[in-house]
Structure 1
Amino acid sequence: TRTVRGLEALSLCIPPTPGQSIVKRPDNKNLFTLGSIFRAKGYNSRFIYGGYGYFDNMSEFFSNNGYKVTDRSALKDSEIHYSNIWGVADEDLFTLSMRELDEDYRNKKPFFAQIMTVSNHRPYTYPEGRIDIPSKTSREGAVKYTDYAIGKFIKEARKKPWFSNTLFVIVADHCASSAGKVQLPVDKYHIPMIFYAPAHIAPSKFEKLTAQLDIGPTILGYLNFSYKSKFFGHDVFKMKDDEQRAFISTYQSLGYLRNGKLVVLNPNRKLSTFQPDFKTGAAIKTTDDEKLTNQAISYYQMAAFLYQKSLYQQEK
Structure 2
Amino acid sequence: MKKFPRIAEYKVMAIRILLAYLFYFIARILFYVYNQSLIEINSVFDFIKICYHGVAFDTTTILYTNALFIIVSVFPAVINTKKAYQKVLFYLYFVTNLLMYSANFVDFIYYRFTFSRSTRASLDTLENESNKMALLFNFMLNYWHVFFLFFALAYLWILLYKRTKIQHHDQKPTLKYFATSTAAFLLIITLCVGGIRGDFKKSTRPINMLDASRYVQNAGQADVVLNTPFAIIRTWNANTFKKVNFLPKATVDSLLVPIKQYKNNPPTKPNIVVFILESFAREYNGAFNKDTKISDYESYTPFVDSLAQHSLIYTNAYANGWKSIHGMSSVIAGIPSFKDAFTSSPYPKQKIESLVSTLENQGYNTSFFHGAPNGSMGFLGFANILGYDHYYGKNEYNNDADFDGVWGIWDEPFFQFFNKTLTQKKEPFMATLFSVSSHQPYKVPEKFEGKFPKGKVNINQCIGYTDYALKRFFAEAKKQSWYKNTIFVLVADHGNTIAYDEYKKEFNKHTVPILFFTPSEKYVGVNDDWAQQIDIYPTLLDMIGYQKPFRSWGRSLISDKQVAPFAVRHSANVYQFMSGNYICTMDDKKAVGFYDKNDKGMKKNLIGKRNAEMDALELKCKAFIQDYMERVVDKRLTTVK
Of the structure 1 ranges 234-243 and 146-155, higher mean CA displacement relative to structure 2 is found in 234-243
The separation in 1 between residues aligned to 2:504 and 2:590, in whole angstroms, is 13
For residue 255 of structure 1, give the secondary structure of its aligned residue in structure 2.
Answer: strand
Equivalent residues in 2 for 1:230-309 (5 A)? 230-240=551-561, 243-250=564-571, 252-267=573-588, 269=589, 271-276=591-596, 278=598, 281-287=601-607, 288=610, 289-309=614-634
Which residue identity lines up with residue 326 of structure 2 in the other structure? R
Of the structure 1 ranges 147-156 and 117-126, higher mean CA displacement relative to structure 2 is found in 117-126
For residue 626 of structure 2, give the secondary structure of its aligned residue in structure 1.
Answer: helix
Equivalent residues in 2 for 1:150-299 (5 A)? 150-176=470-496, 185-201=506-522, 203-240=524-561, 243-250=564-571, 252-267=573-588, 269=589, 271-276=591-596, 278=598, 281-287=601-607, 288=610, 289-299=614-624
Question: Partner of 1:111 in structure 2?
Answer: 429
Which residue identity lines up with residue 148 of structure 1 in the other structure? Y
* 1:253–1:265 contact (8 Å) kept in structure 2: yes
1:121 aligned residue (417, 435, 439): 439
Cα displacement string for residues 260-299 of structure 1 (whole angstroms, at most 9, x for unaligned residues): 21112224x2532232454853442012532211110110
* 1:276–1:283 contact (8 Å) kept in structure 2: no
Q: Give the CA deviation at 1:132.
A: 3.1
Question: Partner of 1:76 in structure 2?
Answer: 398
TM-score normalized by structure 2?
Answer: 0.45
Which residue identity lines up with residue 466 of structure 2 in the other structure? T
* 2:352–2:638 contact (8 Å) kept in structure 1: yes
Which residue identity lines up with residue 495 of structure 2 in the other structure? C
The separation in 1 between residues aligned to 2:479 and 2:633, in whole angstroms, is 46
Which residue identity lines up with residue 77 of structure 1 in the other structure? N
Which residue identity lines up with residue 204 of structure 1 in the other structure? G
More helix by share: 2
* 2:578–2:597 contact (8 Å) kept in structure 1: no
Which residue identity lines up with residue 591 of structure 2 in the other structure? L
For residue 115 of structure 1, give the secondary structure of its aligned residue in structure 2.
Answer: strand
Which residue identity lines up with residue 340 of structure 2 in the other structure? Q
For residue 594 of structure 2, give the secondary structure of its aligned residue in structure 1.
Answer: strand
* 1:189–1:248 contact (8 Å) kept in structure 2: no
| Residues 160 and 312 (structure 1), Cα distance of their counterparts in 2 relative to 1, 3 Å cut | same
Which residue identity lines up with residue 542 of structure 2 in the other structure? G
For residue 83 of structure 1, give the secondary structure of its aligned residue in structure 2.
Answer: coil
The separation in 1 between residues aligned to 2:441 and 2:598, in whole angstroms, is 29
Which residue identity lines up with residue 296 of structure 1 in the other structure? C
The separation in 2 between residues aligned to 1:290 and 1:183, in whole angstroms, is 28
Of the structure 1 ranges 28-37 and 244-253, higher mean CA displacement relative to structure 2 is found in 244-253
The share of aligned pairs that are identical, in percent, is 22
Alignment gaps of 5+ in structure 1: none
Larger radius of gyration: 2
The separation in 1 between residues aligned to 2:498 and 2:454, in whole angstroms, is 26
1:23 matches 2:343: yes
Q: How many residues align?
A: 308
Equivalent residues in 2 for 1:40-79 (5 A)? 40-67=361-388, 68-77=390-399
* 1:36–1:314 contact (8 Å) kept in structure 2: no
* 1:208–1:244 contact (8 Å) kept in structure 2: yes
* 2:535–2:556 contact (8 Å) kept in structure 1: yes
Which residue identity lines up with residue 525 of structure 2 in the other structure? S
Q: Give the CA deviation at 1:178.
A: 8.8
Of the structure 1 ranges 139-148 and 91-100, higher mean CA displacement relative to structure 2 is found in 91-100
| Residues 14 and 278 (structure 1), Cα distance of their counterparts in 2 relative to 1, 3 Å cut | farther
* 2:581–2:596 contact (8 Å) kept in structure 1: yes
* 2:394–2:409 contact (8 Å) kept in structure 1: yes
TM-score normalized by structure 1?
Answer: 0.87
Which residue identity lines up with residue 284 of structure 1 in the other structure? K
The list of structure 1 runs, each at least 4 consecutive aligned residues, that deviate by more than 6 angstroms after superposition, is 178-184
The separation in 2 between residues aligned to 1:91 and 1:182, in whole angstroms, is 28
- RMSD in angstroms over aligned alpha carbons? 2.8
Q: Give the CA deviation at 1:167.
A: 0.9
Q: Give the CA deviation at 1:182.
A: 12
Question: Partner of 1:138 in structure 2?
Answer: 458
Alignment gaps of 5+ in structure 2: 1-321
